[in-house]
Structure 1
Amino acid sequence: MRYLFILLVSFITANSYSQDSTATQRPTKVKGTLVSASTSLPLSEANIVNINQVVGTATNDDGIFEIRAKVNDTLHLSYLGYKSIKVRVTNDWLKFGNTKIEMTELALALEEVTVKQLELTGYLEVDMNQVPITSNNRYRISGLPGQGYEAGKPNIATKVLGAIFNPADFLYNMFGRKPNEMHKLKKMKEDDEIRSQLSKRFDREMLLVLLQVSKFDLDEIVNQCNYSKDFINTANDLQILDAISECYEEYKVIKRSKERKTGKD
């Protein structure tokens, strides 16, 4: 009877430990409140992204947010005019609930911008020659009707094909070197909140954080995928995401084709 009691206690203890361990690993939600460090006022519509889970959300009018996360996940918090921060999810945060997080304002200095106005003569033929012309024809931008990417240049497949047969090419090296980060592209495209946030941003910060690449690498990826400087300089972050995603899909197709051809040889 004594041995049976000991066995029963051991079973309950082990089962309890297993449940606790599983609960720790199971994704749950964390809740927080973002406030200004200088005014203590809530920051509404701030962007919060779980880098590990690749999900996003935004704060409400009271600065409160809730997002899926588990222990040791990293949240990236950003708000216009404030310094972005990264916060690690802890057991205490999951256990005790809402946590107040302060964000610090940035000092923004605007550079003087000179706009050169067109000097119109009233003669259509003369005035038309003064209007800047861009040769970048465009097509399809996901989620933004009426706008699109450049066309009329060598297609992406041609550019990526060159990368595969030249291992020194930046594009091939980047995609081959960071496959895990590139796989996040699919998750980013599937998360409506992240897409919504990216469509309003032009600073590339969220893309850099999620893809774990430098600003130089990000620009080079888009450039090597045959998108123009005009597009790189004017596109919002969602457009850049879709551009990279399309290029990456082309890369994977051609890479598989090359591997099958090599296998047959």
Structure 2
Amino acid sequence: MRNVKSAFIIFVFTLIGFVAKAQDFIVRGVVIEKGSNVRIALSEITNLRTGIGVGSNDIGMFQLKARIGDTLLVTKRDLIDQRVAVSSEKDLVVYLVRGSTTLADVTIRGNTKQQDLNEIKQEFKNKGVYNGGKTTFLSAIFSPLNALYNLFGTDPKNARRFSRYADNEIKQSQIDVYFNQSIIKNNTELRGDTLERYMLNCRPEFNKAQYWNSYDYIKYIKESSKKFTDTLGKGK
């Protein structure tokens, strides 16, 4: 009787351990190009068990729901695909290798879109256009000539126009990290013209999406794409 009781206790603890291992958790990681140590933005990371995919952000980082034993497929154009086994809840560092040793005849730049926009803003400053072409109360007092230039100069007008454009571009690039064709294809059946129409008509607003994480985006994509396809069905 004692042996049966001991065996039962061992079985219970084994079962508890199995259930604990099978629980989902958020695995976090970073994707880096091997050899150059450059972080890779917009790579695709897919959990092969669930089929859910996300993209790495501007600094190569990602987060994805997984469990121990899952396999993640990491892909990026011009780099060799990598499969990574999830063996613990520790953060992952994924190295991708360039697919060819032949160098393309292109200019390689490490700047993000935000850095490029900041460089253009700096060019306006070098021309004497400060504060994005806007005149503050203090600058009008201490720099009256610059205040007049900001009011009537051509470059200040361009600076203000560019500042509005730059702010919008930075906001939209944040949305593009997760609301793009690759991630939408991984999580919906939308393809071709229907996919393009969905992306145009259902693009999330920055005011709502600025606080979302990858799972909020995936939830939005699945729910909004269903409403979109249902609407298409009614229109037939």
Same fold (TM over 0.5): no
Please give the TM-score of this superposition, normalised by the length of structure 1. 0.40
Please give the TM-score of this superposition, normalised by the length of structure 2. 0.44
